[in-house]
């Protein structure tokens, strides 16, 4: 018997992302549009934008690693 492990994906709304980084909506969208920054692209659900928490955490880790190097 195979056991399926379900991983729950957490999503953050635009205002939650803004609060997480203490940045305005305009700044977040600048980050999204800047290909050199590598900020995660949002996912649209019912015409609203959401970011995967795991994508944001991966991006944060990459930024921290880049700052150390």
- Number of compact structural domains in the chain: 1
Q: How many CB atoms lie within 10 A of CB 42?
A: 20
Q: Is residue 3 part of a domain?
A: no
Q: How many CB atoms lie within 10 A of CB 17?
A: 22
Q: Mind listing the pLDDT tens digit for each residue in 17-69?
A: 999 999 999 999 999 999 999 999 999 999 999 999 999 999 999 999 888 86
38: domain range? 11-68
Sheet holding 48-52, edge to edge: 11-13, 48-52, 43-45
pTM, entire model: 0.84
Q: Is residue 5 part of a domain?
A: no
Contact 56, 13 (CB under 8 A): no
pLDDT value at residue 35:
95
Instruction: Report residue 11 as tokens.
Output: 């999503």
């Amino acid at each position: 018997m195979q056991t399926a492990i379900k991983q729950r994906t957490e999503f953050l709304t635009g205002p939650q992302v803004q609060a997480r980084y203490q940045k305005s909506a305009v700044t977040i969208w600048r980050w999204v549009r800047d290909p050199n920054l590598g900020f995660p692209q949002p996912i649209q659900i019912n015409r609203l934008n959401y970011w995967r928490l795991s994508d944001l955490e991966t991006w944060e880790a990459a930024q921290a690693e880049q700052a150390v190097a």
